[in-house]
Amino acid sequence: MVELILFYAFAAVILGSAVLMVTVKNIFHSALYMAASLFGVAAEFAMMGSFFLAGIQVLIYIGAIVVLTIFVINLTKQISGGPIPQTNEQAVPAAITGLLAASLIILAVIKTDWFTRIAQSVAQSEATDNTAIIGQQLLTNFVIPFEVISVVLLAALIGAIAIIGKDKEAAK
């Protein structure tokens, strides 16, 4: 019962800050609402027993991506702080598209008979910490993707430096 209350509380945090994030005028406030929403997702991960992923979510998303986004928002401040409307005129079609996508998935969830598909032993099992399993899997079965992703990150780093490294106007 406590779990259910916590689930709904965190779901309210996630969805409430997500809706505020896409509708609020100031893009800087939008970034802060994104941090709140991502924190809610981290809490849901923790409730599902993925404590490692909850930590990763806080460290990488909130600690790196949100901070990076705020840096870029501050570097492009002249237009972001002004009275220019931050949303375009597509609000109604966009809302229809989003609601259709969501209702399609929710309809599929309702129509699916989960209880015959979920093995009860798996479904009833308590949320346990599986950090050790993740570590073992990453260094045995998934070692090649693990190495490839490090190369991808290095390439992204070098690419970002190559794209914005030479600022001739600032050098003057």
Partner 1 sequence: MITLGHYVVLSALLFAVGIFGVLTRRNAIGVLMSLELIFNAVNINMVAFSRFLGPEPALGEIFTIFIIAVAAAESILGLAIILAIYRSRRTINADELNLMKW
Residues 49-68 that bind partner 1 (CB under 8 A): 49-50, 52-53, 56-57, 60-61, 64-65, 68
Residue 48 binding partner 1, by CB under 8 A: yes
We find the least distance from the C-beta atom of residue 122 to partner 1, in angstroms, to be 6
Task: Give CA 30 to chain center in angstroms.
Answer: 14
Cα separation, 3 vs 5, whole angstroms:
5
- Identify the residue among 116, 117, 144, 172 touching partner 1 (CB under 8 A): 117
Beta carbons of 53 and 41 less than 8 angstroms apart: no
CB within 8 Å of 28: residues ≥ 6 apart: 70, 73, 74, 80, 81
Residue 74 binding partner 1, by CB under 8 A: no
- Identify the residue among 9, 29, 101, 139 touching partner 1 (CB under 8 A): 101
- Identify the residue among 99, 139, 143, 147 touching partner 1 (CB under 8 A): 99
Beta carbons of 40 and 13 less than 8 angstroms apart: yes
Residue 47 binding partner 1, by CB under 8 A: yes
